[in-house]
Amino acid sequence: MINSYQAKYFAYELSKKATAESPEKFGATLMDAKVELNPHQIEAALFAFKSPYSKGAILADEVGLGKTIEAGILLSQKWAEGKRKILIICPSSLRKQWVNELADKFYLKAEVVDNISYNKKIRDGVKNPFDAEATIKICSYQFARKKAEEIQLTSWDLVVIDEAHYLRNAYKYGNVTAQTIQNAIRDYKKVLLTATPLQNRLDELFGLVSFIDPEIFGDIKSFRRNYVLESGARDIEGLKERLHSIVHRTLRRDVKEFINYRERIPITQKFTPTAEEQDLYEKVLDYLRQEITYAFPPGQKHLMQSVIFKLLGSSSFAISRTLEALIKRLKHLLESSKIVEDDLYEMFLEEYEHLDDDLDESDEELEDDFVEITLDDKIAIEAEIKQLEEFLSLSNQIQHNEKGEKLIIALERGFEKLKELGASQKALIFTESTRTQHYLFDRLSKEKYNGRIVLFNGQNSDETSKQIYRDWLADENNAGKITGSRAVDIRQALIDAFKSDGFDVMIATEAGAEGINLQFCSMIVNYDLPWNPQRVEQRIGRCHRYGQEHDVVVVNFLNASNAVEARVYELLDKKFRLFDGVFGSSDEVLGTIENGVDFEKRIIEVYKLCRTKEEIENYFNQLQKEFEDQIDSKVKATQSKLFDHFEASVIDKLRITLSETTVFIEKYEKWLWELLRFYMKHKAQFIYDDFTFVLNTGEKYTLNKKREDAKPFRLQSAIAQQIIRQGKKEQTPFAHLKFNFSDAKVTYTDIEKLKSKQGILKITNLEVSSEIESHSVLLFTGKTINGEILNDEICRFILGLPCIEEGKGNFKTEDIEQVHQKNKQQKLDHLEDTDALLMQREFKKFHNWADDKIAFTESELREAKKAEKEIDRQAMQEGISTSEALIFQEALAKAKKKVSRLKREMFDREDEIEQERDQMIEEARQKLNRAITEEEVFTISFELI
């Protein structure tokens, strides 16, 4: 058992703030996180704020390397520092995934802010939902644009932008979404996440970099002049140097030592609908093409029509309930004689769980509309009812679903392939419709899969799921996983059930499966194939991700009689390369898409506009050409030059990072464990070899991440923080401590020399703070009675040894003071050198910015002089007419005036630029003015025996 001196020392170690560049910075954060340690992720997180001047970074690791984890480390660190105003902006399809990842891996509470939740809070009296409650806020790009003013009014500690390549054209005139978001978060620190920082033009780099720090480059004109001009030498090396401070990229090939990648194996399952199914499909399609329909609420017409387009391709069962709801609504219109919003949205949401996401991406709003209908309207409504009733009758007559029958064959093919691969016989089936999901459950239950199917959706309210949840709660081995939230816990229960030997198939809706990780499953079945390529990638990523031990089989259903579906599949397969290749290889191509939702809208447009096969072919040929133009090999070559191997010897560096971070985490765990034993000795029983303890109340906690039958004990928990505060307040007067080195089972040559010797040891805590950074340093000063000086490492080692006796100090504290002051001065000198280096880098950035601005004005003057000289030459030609001579003289006079004006403007502008630069430099200098305070922890005399 440690004593009060060691408790105080450990408490200070656990609460100190490391400097920005130290691998120790994330020691406490990673100790709490439930993530497998990957050194490249720690490197990326350290890079993001390696300088206190940093306004942020672009983390551009190739897909599959865990940029979400890198951001999670940063968010956890901010949270631990009490900086909890955090915003994540991402595609709507990734919002729930972020919520789940942060909760599962970092124990961080996050919430999605969307139309529905935002409006509810406003009704509840919350003035600005973005600025309320201590949770991380997550919203989509579209919603961020709509609520830019509210976002701007919140003082964010950090803004994370996922899939940041959506903002690459922020510099272009008219790019409303990107520019609106840029203005809203201009003053806050930002981290941009994208696997494709450069897709089509170098200009995009200017857009992304300027989003974070507008002082890296002068402006778009000077950027183009330096780097983008097609003629002349482009300064790619100069661009690479500028990007070095703000873009961090790790390649898959750099981390093969740490991560094992798997392939994708595609299987296409074709089916041909029956005549009845095809008839229903064609009739509903024609109905959706009608210009005037009354069944849809006016404010949601396009949104709900797009949903029906998707449900049509799922199954006849998916469409029948929708038809019933539309008929019911039309009959109500006839009775009430007015169009009014009703609960149709809720019904659609129950049937198609991604409706919230689609609404968020839509320009349509859920607003009440009251429109009186005329007699002509009533006649048209009656006709529409008759039309829909015909569809419903046809739908109810269909008992045989050809696509569903082919699923049985597809599963057999897939399982056979899994057998060859040596993978578990498990399949994850995706559908976009909850109705289709239940149909598939019933159909497969009539086969050998009866009793071996898990359903997974946004509600999880079926009887099988409820029973799985009850059994999971009753199992004491799951005690450590229980959060108390049914929504979270039932998801975990269903995942654990699917992982067990008791189940072979999970049928999931896409919305339900967001954010879950199923690396133990190696087969994905796209029963309904989304038209949004990024959603397809997200689905496959549930299984084809870090930790997957086998190649992943991807089964895709294809309607052989549907020309549109065939061309969509061709694009997804051949152009976007979603279904084969190595882990994440499709991402390079996906990055060329401005927005997957926009691509999906194009497909809906095909259904609405194209009637003949020829029209469909022409439309897709044009669409394919657009993407071929975007996927440019020249751009890929430039990207390789700019981002491949920023650092020399990447692998060696990552090995060192892994080693250092692992050591820090082990130290933090040991210090926290010893503090727990010291302060909780009468309140808990300790399992010493497993970092686990049981409170007298019966609750079991552990620091061992592999145990699932106990709750994780975290450094940021209320109990741990209370213990640390208590430790720092311990009374520790000057004393003599005897440490037992003889029983320590370690070999330490420097310590061996000190055995049986005595000395004095002093610890102080230096708090260093400035406007842009605060950190603390534990200052160790040790000296033997023979005058030998002990370094930090030896002092730490001594204080970690068992203390076997305490007594009164038998040295004078003055004996150590001179050495301590010298030691302190060395630390301060090192800090001053670090500050000088930081400021020098910042000053260089400002000089580059000023040079860009000045060089552009100089280039304009040179061009004007060149034009003047050319006109002068033409005016001096022999044989020109009088009228031509006069025209030339007039042009020459204008050219001379332009040169004179540019000269004056250049001198004025140079002065302005120099003044702006000097002001930036002075502001940077002021920001790093540090205040340093020193607090004594304790001074002891010691003896090693």
Q: What is the pLDDT of residues 68-105, one digit of tens each?
A: 899 999 999 889 888 899 999 998 778 888 888 898 88
At 755-770, the pLDDT tens digits run 777 889 999 999 988 8
Please name the residue ranges forming H helices in 531-649: 533-540, 563-570, 587-590, 596-609, 613-630, 633-643
Supply the pLDDT for residue 354. Answer: 65
pLDDT at 691 exceeding the cut of 80: yes
pLDDT at 216 exceeding the cut of 90: no
pLDDT at 246 exceeding the cut of 60: yes
569 within 8 A of 531, measured Cβ to Cβ:
no
- Mean pLDDT score, 933-941: 93
- Mean pLDDT score, 226-234: 60
- Mean pLDDT score, 786-795: 88
At 803-831, the pLDDT tens digits run 888 888 777 777 788 899 999 999 888 88
User: Could you give phi then psi for residue 490, rounded to 5 degrees?
Assistant: -70, -35
Q: How many CB atoms lie within 10 A of CB 270?
A: 13
Same domain, 468 and 388: no
pLDDT at 593 exceeding the cut of 80: no
- Mean pLDDT score, 572-583: 64
- Alpha-carbon distance of 848 to 844, in angstroms, equals 6
Quote the distance between the C-alpha of residue 700 and its chain's center. Answer: 33
Same domain, 72 and 173: yes
pLDDT at 585 exceeding the cut of 50: no
- Alpha-carbon distance of 182 to 302, in angstroms, equals 29
Q: 3-state DSSP call for residue 201?
A: coil
Picking from 662, 672, 665, the residue whose alpha carbon sits closest to that of residue 693 is: 672
Helix axes 203-212, 236-243, angle to 10 degrees: 20
pLDDT level of residue 240 (50, 70, 90 thresholds)? confident
Supply the pLDDT for residue 357. Answer: 62
DSSP category for residue 688: G
Q: ∠ CA 341-346-349 to the nearest 5 degrees?
A: 130
What percentage of the chain's residues is helix, strand, coil (to nearest 5)? 55, 15, 30
363 within 8 A of 143, measured Cβ to Cβ:
no
Q: 3-state DSSP call for residue 785?
A: coil
- Alpha-carbon distance of 857 to 838, in angstroms, equals 30
Range in 252-266, 636-650, 757-771 the model is least confident about = 636-650
Same domain, 405 and 389: no
At 848-898, the pLDDT tens digits run 777 777 777 777 777 788 888 888 888 787 777 778 778 878 888 888 888
Tokens of 619: 């439309």
The two beta strands, 735-739 and 931-944, are: parallel
Counting residues of the chain whose pLDDT is more than 90, the rounded percentage is 28
Domain assignment of residue 574, yes or no? yes
DSSP category for residue 62: P
Supply the pLDDT for residue 291. Answer: 83
Q: 3-state DSSP call for residue 877?
A: coil
- Alpha-carbon distance of 99 to 108, in angstroms, equals 8
Winning range, highest mean pLDDT, from 170-174, 475-479, 733-737, 767-771: 733-737
Domain boundary, last residue among 201, 227, 255: 255
How many residues belong to the chain? 945
Same domain, 768 and 668: no
Same domain, 577 and 449: yes
Domain boundary, last residue among 663, 698, 725: 725
Supply the pLDDT for residue 147. Answer: 93
Domain assignment of residue 842, yes or no? yes
Same domain, 656 and 700: yes
pLDDT at 646 exceeding the cut of 50: no
Same domain, 2 and 23: yes
Tokens of 941: 């005399």
- Alpha-carbon distance of 130 to 109, in angstroms, equals 14
Domain assignment of residue 903, yes or no? yes
Supply the pLDDT for residue 342. Answer: 55
pLDDT level of residue 550 (50, 70, 90 thresholds)? very high
At 144-157, the pLDDT tens digits run 999 999 999 999 99
Domain assignment of residue 637, yes or no? no
Task: Point out which residues pair with 509 in neighbouring strands.
Answer: 431
Domain of 42: which CATH number?
3.40.50.10810
Supply the pLDDT for residue 299. Answer: 67
How many angstroms separate the Cα of 791 from the Cα of each of 364, 526, 937, 945? 67, 62, 17, 20
Q: 3-state DSSP call for residue 581?
A: strand
Supply the pLDDT for residue 365. Answer: 56
- Mean pLDDT score, 922-933: 83
- Alpha-carbon distance of 697 to 897, in angstroms, equals 89
Same domain, 284 and 388: yes
Q: How many CB atoms lie within 10 A of CB 400?
A: 10
- Mean pLDDT score, 915-919: 82
pLDDT level of residue 372 (50, 70, 90 thresholds)? confident
pLDDT at 61 exceeding the cut of 80: yes
Q: SS in 3 state form for 336-380?
A: HCEECCCCHHHHHHHHCCCHHHHHHHCCCCCCCCCEECCHHHHHH
Same domain, 469 and 603: yes
User: Could you give phi then psi for residue 759, rounded to 5 degrees?
Assistant: -170, -170
- Mean pLDDT score, 780-808: 88
pLDDT at 594 exceeding the cut of 60: no
- Alpha-carbon distance of 35 to 30, in angstroms, equals 8
User: Could you give phi then psi for residue 718, rounded to 5 degrees?
Assistant: -60, -40
Q: How many CB atoms lie within 10 A of CB 213?
A: 18
List Cβ<8 Å contacts ≥24 apart for 694-700. 700/479, 700/480
Helix axes 375-397, 316-336, angle to 10 degrees: 150
Total domains, the chain? 5
- Alpha-carbon distance of 783 to 702, in angstroms, equals 38
- Alpha-carbon distance of 766 to 776, in angstroms, equals 5
At 290-344, the pLDDT tens digits run 888 888 876 677 777 788 888 888 888 888 888 888 888 888 888 877 665 555 6
DSSP category for residue 577: -
Supply the pLDDT for residue 648. Answer: 42
- Alpha-carbon distance of 219 to 229, in angstroms, equals 15
Domain assignment of residue 587, yes or no? no
At 422-474, the pLDDT tens digits run 999 999 999 988 889 999 999 999 999 999 999 998 888 899 999 999 999 99
Picking from 290, 190, 209, 203, the residue whose alpha carbon sits closest to that of residue 247 is: 209
Domain assignment of residue 875, yes or no? yes
Q: 3-state DSSP call for residue 648?
A: coil
338 within 8 A of 373, measured Cβ to Cβ:
yes
- Mean pLDDT score, 489-513: 89
pLDDT at 535 exceeding the cut of 50: yes
How many angstroms separate the Cα of 321 from the Cα of each of 241, 277, 352? 60, 16, 12
Tokens of 743: 């029983």
Please name the residue ranges forming H helices in 398-522: 402-421, 434-445, 463-474, 486-499
Contacts (Cβ under 8 Å, ≥6 apart) of 868: 892, 895, 896, 898, 899
User: Could you give phi then psi for residue 339, rounded to 5 degrees?
Assistant: -85, 125
Same domain, 711 and 759: no
- Alpha-carbon distance of 909 to 860, in angstroms, equals 12
Counting residues of the chain whose pLDDT is more than 70, the rounded percentage is 88
574 vs 591 pLDDT, higher one? 574
354 vs 868 pLDDT, higher one? 868
Task: Point out which residues pair with 767 in neighbouring strands.
Answer: 776, 933
551 within 8 A of 419, measured Cβ to Cβ:
no
User: Could you give phi then psi for residue 775, rounded to 5 degrees?
Assistant: -150, 165
How many angstroms separate the Cα of 618 from the Cα of each of 490, 562, 564, 567, 624? 48, 15, 11, 11, 10
Domain boundary, last residue among 397, 425, 445: 397
Supply the pLDDT for residue 748. Answer: 62
Domain of 446: which CATH number?
3.40.50.300
- Mean pLDDT score, 593-617: 75
Quote the distance between the C-alpha of residue 541 and its chain's center. Answer: 14
Task: Point out which residues pair with 78 in neighbouring strands.
Answer: none
Torsion sign, CA atoms 382, 385, 391, 396: negative
- Alpha-carbon distance of 154 to 156, in angstroms, equals 6
Supply the pLDDT for residue 642. Answer: 67
Domain assignment of residue 638, yes or no? no
- Mean pLDDT score, 354-364: 62
Same domain, 64 and 21: no
Domain assignment of residue 636, yes or no? no
DSSP category for residue 698: S
Q: How many CB atoms lie within 10 A of CB 662?
A: 15
Contacts (Cβ under 8 Å, ≥6 apart) of 730: 4, 5, 7, 8, 11
Same domain, 440 and 454: yes
User: Could you give phi then psi for residue 50, rounded to 5 degrees?
Assistant: -70, -20
- Number of helices (H), then strands (E), belonging to the chain: the values are 34, 26
Supply the pLDDT for residue 706. Answer: 81
Can you give the residue range of the structural domain that contains 178? 33-255
How many angstroms separate the Cα of 41 from the Cα of each of 6, 22, 136, 243, 556? 33, 14, 21, 19, 33
